[in-house]
């Protein structure tokens, strides 16, 4: 009597899965950034364009745009807003870090984020505001971001599982 058996061991195509995971995480981050941009832009009105221009660097991460034109100001200060802002991201499958960072040093945007400038005016305020604040765009942006990425799941492993014959 003769008996033979074949054992096939599982093999994970780790490089393939990491590539799929990286693409998936980039897409999730882009979805979250888009939600963040939409939320913060909805809270910050257009006047000279400076405040909204602070969001441009974050929007460029995902090739999105920020509506700036159409405000009532007689001058354009978008360059001032760009100069007073930071926006960057880190997307690294090696560390597992997928993040974006926004920052601004634009004085009146910071003031209006936390104050009603018509009641508690910034010492540099030069006009009454139709939408005086507080804007609370940071809180609203964070909530929109978290909502957009809230149901994140990892890509399925099954397509990357193979079996190998063991002799």
Q: What is the dihedral of CA 37, 78, 46, 143, to 10 degrees?
A: 20
Q: What's residue 154's pLDDT?
A: 87
Q: Which long-range contacts (CB under 8 A, 24 or more apart) does 67-70 make?
A: 67/41, 70/46
Q: For position 23, what pLDDT does the model report?
A: 96
Tens place of pLDDT for every residue, the chain, 167 residues? Answer: 887 777 777 888 999 999 999 999 999 999 999 999 999 999 998 888 899 999 999 999 999 999 987 666 667 888 999 999 999 999 999 999 999 999 999 998 998 899 887 777 777 666 667 777 799 999 999 999 999 999 888 899 999 988 877 66
The reported pLDDT for the residue numbered 127 is 63
Hey, what are 56's tokens?
């441009």
pLDDT, residue 18, reads 94
Instruction: Using alpha carbons, select from 44, 70, 66, 37 the residue that is nearest to residue 130.
Output: 44
Q: Which two tokens stand for residue 84?
A: 């007073």
d(CA 108, CA 115): 10
**Could you tell me the residue ranges of all domains in the chain?**
14-150
Cα–Cα distance list, 142 to 100, 117, 118 (Å): 12, 23, 26
What pLDDT does 48 receive? 83
């Amino acid at each position: 009597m003769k008996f033979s058996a074949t054992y096939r061991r599982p093999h994970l195509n780790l490089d393939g899965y990491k590539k799929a995971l990286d693409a998936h995480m980039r897409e999730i981050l882009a979805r979250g950034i888009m939600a963040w941009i939409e939320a913060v832009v909805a809270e910050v009105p257009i006047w000279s364009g400076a405040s909204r221009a602070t969001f441009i660097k974050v929007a460029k991460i995902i090739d999105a745009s920020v509506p700036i034109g159409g405000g009532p100001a007689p001058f354009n200060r978008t360059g001032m807003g760009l100069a007073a802002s930071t926006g960057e991201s880190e997307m690294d499958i090696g560390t597992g870090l997928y993040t974006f960072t926004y920052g601004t040093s634009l004085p009146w945007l910071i003031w209006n984020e936390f104050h009603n400038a018509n009641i508690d005016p910034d010492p540099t305020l030069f006009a009454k505001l139709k939408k005086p604040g507080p804007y609370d765009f940071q809180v609203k942006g964070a909530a929109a971001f978290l909502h957009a990425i809230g149901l994140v799941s990892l890509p399925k492993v099954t397509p990357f599982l193979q079996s190998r014959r063991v002799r």
